[in-house]
Amino acid sequence: MTATTDGPAGPGVSGTKHTDRDSPGPEAPGQESLTALAERTAARAVDHLLARQDEQGWWKGDLETNVTMDAEDLLLREFLGIRDEKILRAAANFVRAQQREDGTWATFHGGPGELSTTIEAYVALKLAGDDPEAPHMARAAAWVRENGGVARSRVFTRIWLALFGWWRWEDLPELPPELIYLPKWFPLNIYDFGCWARQTIVPLTVVSALRPVHPAPFRIDELHRDPARPLPPGRMAPATTWDGAFQRIDRALHAYRKVAVKPLRRAALKDASRWIVERQENDGCWGGIQPPAVYSLIALRLLGYDMEHPVMRAGLESLDRFAVWPDEETRMVEACQSPVWDTCLVSIALADAGLPRDHPALVKAADWMLAEQIVRPGDWSVRRPQLPPGGWAFEFHNDNYPDIDDTAEVALALRRVDHPDPERVDRAVGRAVRWNLGMQSSDGAWGAFDVDNTSKFPNRLPFCDFGEVIDPPSADVTGHVLEMLAAEGRQGEPRARKAISWLLAEQESNGAWFGRWGVNYLYGTGSVVPALVAAGMPVSHPAIRRAVSWVESVQNDDGGWGEDLRSYIDADWIANGTSTPSQTGWALMTLIAGGERDSKAVERGIGWLAEQQREDGYWDEPFFTGTGFPWDFSINYHLYRMVFPLTALGRYLHGDGLDHLTARRDA
């Protein structure tokens, strides 16, 4: 794979010939110039996206996270004894290039230095041969010591260090493999965890039980405040608090380890192994994401799987496909790949921008998406055993964990295409709607992967300090599902009305909605307002007016909108940040849906997008506007900067692209 973010768009087909759309009506002279500006901006973006479509029909932008992906990939190869010097050099070049002037590494562009990320990056560079006395390494080590050293890093970082003897296993939280036997009604069973955490925790129970140590190639004393006593004295929280209770549970689990019944432990390890192997995808990955893959490979190796075993070979090959090579000397590892998500969002953007609904690019994309629908049960069926499948995953391969959000957006994309086999589309969308409705949580809203995944216990575990480990309903996912239901004419059904009630109750006092999977209130609001309006809520409704007023009030002086990831932990950062194309797109989508198409705020926002666009139709966006875990794990989707500005421009010019559905239903 090669990086494609900065290359020229190449020849394309203009997307501004609106053969089956209503053209904007007569406007005042000032508005005519804005319309022309929006059309030119949209046309260039359309051409750029058309030129980037894969011949199979999909789109995929790079998914950029942080250098822990690269560091852990190198540590995995070192642990398994498959060190590759070319990969080591190229990965080190990428890690080195991401270091900040103060010697640290951040988890997002422009963010502060982060301790665990800096430790893992430092160790990776030392593995690559960087001299600890070199200025960039000395600055990093000094910063780590000043900020508490290895002892203050997250548990996952110390697990990696324990694999090489740089940390004691005894000083890590215990995670027994017998966890796999807890019934689904029992607190802290594996299905109480979100799917991403579940897939990671099961293999880690194996690693925790076996406590392997690979001989370390060097020492890391320089990352400790006191190498002789790296673990600071701990203090137990009061037993009457949740933290205190779980600290005592962890102490009990450490004691249990010494007396664990050996046959039971052997059986648990065997069943964990079976659970892991059964969830390997056809392409060799686990869950389509990097963390479960690396820990699954380590666990299976510890359980005796030879490196030439087909399961191991396929797993390693899948990780290689997560690598992006911007050039021959630089290698970046994606935490995940997003072709289904990117393809449905691009299809929506192109259709809303006026590309004919029967355009070959849209038909080819629809064919690819139709072939990707998942028609077998996955882990979600533990809570919904009678529900027929019908969802879509986020990735190329992840049949065990289809995504409610992706399923809603794929259905919306398919409805924008005049496909030569409309009955096939109807069947696919029907399965998707049925599955999404079946995945509705009891409060009327939707999470991303599971139903009622809301237990508070997993987040309390001392082990779980790496980000969100449950999958509760969110406003952004619920908004997308509601929008899908409205497109199918089902907005008046009880389950849709329950979702609307939930969304209204979740609105913040300032008029915004929290964004779980995008940054942050701009994303949440941009997901909810179009859905509520599509479901029939008048733009005069107080909830819509409050949202519109809030978006207008947080517009930047340059005409765009931006929000820093620090808004997840500090209210002063809410809707506060450098203007970005994707977040400006979300704000414009809110305003246009809210009846403000002709407002000054929309005019300024479109002007900012036009001014920032490159000649090849692309927008630059170094800022991270997506999330895996709010604040803890941030994502820069390299196509967000294209699809959301184009969607907003298209809706300014033509509406939401689903008017034909209403006409068809009325007929």
Tell me the catalytic residues.
405
CB of 548 closer than 8 Å to CB of 596: yes
Q: Which residue has the tokens 């967000």?
A: 640
How far is CA 249 from each of CA 234, 242, 256, rounded to the nearest angstrom? 15, 10, 10
How far is CA 209 from each of CA 162, 172, 206, 256, 305, rounded to the nearest angstrom? 13, 12, 5, 11, 17
Q: Which residues contact 570 (CB under 8 A, 6 or more apart)?
A: none
Nearest CA to 213 among 163, 166, 170, 168?
Answer: 163
Phi, psi angles (nearest 5°) of residue 190: -65, -20
Which ranges in 105-210 belong to alpha helices (H)?
A: 115-127, 135-146, 155-162, 195-210
Helix 29-51 × helix 339-352 angle, to 10°: 150
Nearest CA to 234 among 210, 251, 213?
Answer: 251
Q: Which residues contact 354 (CB under 8 A, 6 or more apart)?
A: 15, 16, 17, 18, 21, 42, 650, 653, 654
- Edge-first strand order for the sheet with 626-629 is 63-64, 633-637, 626-629
CB of 562 closer than 8 Å to CB of 610: no
Sign of CA dihedral 120, 123, 125, 127: negative
Q: What tokens were used for 103?
A: 């010697």
Q: What tokens were used for 205?
A: 């129970």
